[in-house]
Structure 1
Amino acid sequence: MLHKEQLIEQLMTTFGKTKVDQLSAILNNNQFDINELIDVTFHPDKTIAFRAAWCWIIFF
């Protein structure tokens, strides 16, 4: 299971739509807690927050 800290580590790397699709699939398959994903969208690092929001959009 992917944890919040692991998600943040993944979001720190530069990536494009393909990586977002892959990460969203991992989140979905691992039944990642959607509340944790939403929490990451409020991360102090705006880049990480944006990428988490991007994953959230693809997630649904």
Structure 2
Amino acid sequence: MLLLAFLAIAIVYYLIQKDKIRKAEKRDIFKEKQEKNYNSFLKKQEKKMQKKLKKINDEYYERI
């Protein structure tokens, strides 16, 4: 009877740990995806700013 209780506790503990690991992996995957999206957003914004600055710079030198 004691062995059966110990086995049941061990199985429950294993399932809880497995669930925690799975959640941590999902969180890591989500963070990586979020970081990738943020980096691509920053690159797009940087390109936009470069185009705007080039346009402003060109207009300035045309006036001179």
* TM-score (norm. length: structure 1): 0.27
More helix by proportion, 1 or 2?
2
* TM-score (norm. length: structure 2): 0.25
Higher relative contact order (CA 8 A, sep 6+): 1
Structure with the greater alpha carbon radius of gyration: 2
